Amino acid sequence: MTSGKRKVRESCPVCRSHSARHLVGIDNAPVFCNVLWSTREDALNARVEDIDLVRCNDCGHIYNRTFDGSLVEYSQGYENSLHFSELFSGFADELADRLIERYDLREKRVLEIGCGKGEFLATLCEKGANQGYGFDQSVEPGRIAGLKAGSVTFANEFFGDRHASLQPDFICCRHVLEHIEDPVAFLTGIRRALGERYGLPVYFEVPNGSLTLVGDALWDIIYEHPAYFSSASLEYAFRLAGFEIERVYEQFNGQFLGLEARTAAQASGPSSAPVADLEQAAIEFPRRYAHDLKTWRDRIAELADTGARVVVWGAGSKGVSFLNALGADIAGAIEFIVDINVHKHGKFVAGTGQQVVPVEHLADYRPQTVIVMNSAYLDEIRRAAGRQGVQAEFLCV
């Protein structure tokens, strides 16, 4: 089901430029990749919308100009936790340790905007004996066990001016900004709520949008993400909102951008506009996307013709986006999608209807081919599959 006539954004949500290059149009993308369904019928009837992805010619920001924020309402059914992975949990632990050391976060007041299920905030508080406050419409306080009484307070609401009295010593916000239709307005609202507290440190983390053009992030294009940041457009947004940038850097195999900044007395413009370095990649992107999609459609069709059992590993954004991009005719050859997040098991993927199964399911199913949605987890996936006696071909998208 779609909403019919769509609005089209005429200007870049970061720099407000009206000059943009079309990258790709994706029809009938699920509005939510990270909401799974209790029945296959409901999954097949999940709401879908079209994506019109463009890149700003001035600041390099990538955005979906037909995004409609009124269709995207987050709740406790939104499930995108990655902390069931040892690899990701290790990364989060190391990040928490580094932020605690860098900003002396010990017995301090720490606030996380968009805390998800609360795992990272809980880690910051446990490691640094901090007092935490987490804001997210999808938070489930009962998911975090073992917290000292009163060490973290969760709220199923957005952070805003009314929370200024909390007076935090540090703010973090991870994998939220890419969900925001107007990121500069969002950041400006946070800065306004902090008032005249100059020099307050903040840490933000987003997917590395540049990998959409030059890396292996083709299947990260989802309706939930109206924004895809390069380091340049990320810096620009923060400067416009009244923050002084300390550093922007890649992490987690280059898949994420981390930004550390402090509240400034006034907004400023961009330090530079380095967009030319990816201009050729943007020109070539439509051909590349079409080529990669055809390659995968052909490969899976060939496997289906031989009777091979094929599973996708990773029932998050990448997996759901990939299956829907393949189309029902090809995706229908894949019956199951594997995930280690226990809260996804037994549910069904929006749009194409694959059932999410635990790793243990593979012991009986015995797939011949496993399509791995994120190469960073390949070694972890091989080990988990090996413990079930699976001997298969592993293909990374």
Question: How high is the mean pLDDT in each 10-residue block of the chain (397 residues)?
Answer: 72 95 96 92 96 94 95 69 84 96 97 92 94 88 63 86 88 96 96 93 97 88 96 94 96 96 86 68 94 97 96 95 96 96 94 97 97 95 96 95
User: In sequence order, what are the residues at sequence separation of 6 or more whose Cβ sits closer than 8 angstroms to the Cβ of residue 370?
Assistant: 310, 311, 312, 313, 338, 381, 385, 390, 392, 393, 394, 395
The per-residue pLDDT for 208 is: 96
Query: Can you tell me the distance from the alpha carbon of 374 to that of 381, in angstroms, rounded to the nearest whole number?
Result: 10
Are the C-beta atoms of residues 355 and 337 closer than 8 Å to each other? Answer: yes
Are the C-beta atoms of residues 173 and 115 closer than 8 Å to each other? Answer: no
The per-residue pLDDT for 140 is: 75
The per-residue pLDDT for 75 is: 62
Query: Can you tell me the distance from the alpha carbon of 236 to that of 61, in angstroms, rounded to the nearest whole number?
Result: 10
The per-residue pLDDT for 254 is: 94
Whose CA is closest to 23, among 59, 48, 60, 49? 60
The per-residue pLDDT for 275 is: 61
Choosing among 3.40.718.10, 3.40.50.920, 3.30.710.10, 3.40.50.720, the CATH entry for 286-396 is 3.40.50.720
Strand 243-251 to 336-338 pairing: unpaired
3-state secondary structure of 154: strand
Phi-psi map region of 295: left, alpha, beta (phi>0 left; psi -120 to 50 alpha): alpha
Query: Can you tell me the distance from the alpha carbon of 50 to that of 268, in angstroms, rounded to the nearest whole number?
Result: 35
The per-residue pLDDT for 311 is: 98
3-state secondary structure of 134: strand
Maximum pairwise Cα distance, the chain: 66
Kindly report each contact of residues 274-280 with a partner whose C-beta sits within 8 Å and lies 24 or more positions away, as own/partner. 274/60, 274/232, 275/56, 275/57, 275/58, 275/59, 275/60, 275/230, 275/232, 278/55, 278/60, 278/210, 278/213, 278/214, 278/230
How would DSSP label each residue in 172-226?
EEES-GGG-SSHHHHHHHHHHHTTT-TT-EEEEEEE-THHHHHSS-GGG--TT--
The per-residue pLDDT for 1 is: 56
Domain ranges of the chain: 286-396
The per-residue pLDDT for 3 is: 54
Query: Can you tell me the distance from the alpha carbon of 127 to that of 107, in angstroms, rounded to the nearest whole number?
Result: 10
Cα atoms found within 13 Å of the Cα of residue 241, Cβ hemisphere only: 27
Strand 20-30 to 109-113 pairing: unpaired
Question: What's this model's pTM, rounded to 2 decimal places?
Answer: 0.92
The per-residue pLDDT for 137 is: 82
Whose CA is closest to 94, among 120, 129, 68, 64? 120
Whose CA is closest to 96, among 201, 172, 206? 172
Residue 94: φ, ψ to 5°: -65, -40
The per-residue pLDDT for 201 is: 98
Cα–Cα distance list, 210 to 19, 51, 218, 275 (Å): 18, 18, 11, 11
For 332, other C-beta atoms within 10 Å of its C-beta total: 15
What is the DSSP secondary structure assignment for residue 71, as one 8-state letter? G
